[in-house]
Homo-oligomer: A and B are copies of this chain.
Amino acid sequence: MYTENQSVIFLILLDYWASPFGMRARIALREKGVKFECREENLRDKSPLLLQMNPVHKKIPVLIHNGKPVCESMNVVQYIDEVWSGKNSILPSDPYQRAQARFWIDFIDTKVYEPADKIWSTTGEVQETAKKDFIEALKILEAELGDKPYFGGDNFGFVDIAMTGYYSWFEPFEKCANFSIESECPTLMASAKRCLQRESVVNSIPNPDELFALALKLMKEYGV
């Protein structure tokens, strides 16, 4: 449980190494250069602290700042951007650009999330539909990206952070489901590679081989 003693630790991230949502929080904290303690959760035996800090959804990531929890990955990213506003702005300052960024976050968290989850956890027709829907969503995002280096224009921004969690899974997805994202969405992939090379990202995402090994292990457990 969270006790007085623990509250001397300024910033704790309840996390899981392979989660694209956990990665978003990690990347945002590192973009800001903020020191934090990352606590790895066992998602099959969640800690009392996680259950206490996110009683509604019981999900990672949770950012505990001075003892108070912030839940839901893009909400965490936005909170980080508002609290440490001095360095590397994540959201643009213009209200219209902010609204556009938030629109695309909603899009990613429904239209990319839903098929992505099925790509490695299903087979046959369900998997084929998931691949089709996934590529369709990525093509819409690619059109939005246009010829900008990042969704955030010249800067790695809010939408880029949301996508980078998924970018880290692209290679494992391709191997699990035998398809090529790059041949379908070359422009998006060029931006993805740019994002994956950032220092904040390199330090926040696992090796694709480790993610693929995890996917294989889970597929076996689920009998896929």
Please list the residues of chain A having a beta carbon within 8 angstroms of any beta carbon in chain B.
56, 65, 68, 70-72, 75-76, 78-79, 82-83, 95-96, 98-99, 102-103, 106-107, 140
Contacts and interface: CB of A to CB of B under 8 A. Distances in A.
Nearest to A140: B56
B98 A82 contact: yes
A31 to B, nearest CB: 16
Majority secondary structure of chain A interface residues (helix, strand, loop or mixed): helix
Task: Give this chain's copy count.
Answer: 2
Contacts of A98: 78-79, 82
B96 A68 contact: yes
A3 to B, nearest CB: 21
Contact of A96 (B56, B79, B103, B140): B79
Given A56-B140, A95-B83, A140-B56, A103 B71 contact: yes
Contact of A95 (B71, B79, B99): B79
A165 to B, nearest CB: 17
A136 to B, nearest CB: 11
Contacts of A95: 79, 82-83
Contacts of A79: 95-96, 98-99
B56 A75 contact: no
Most buried by B among A96, A107, A140: A96
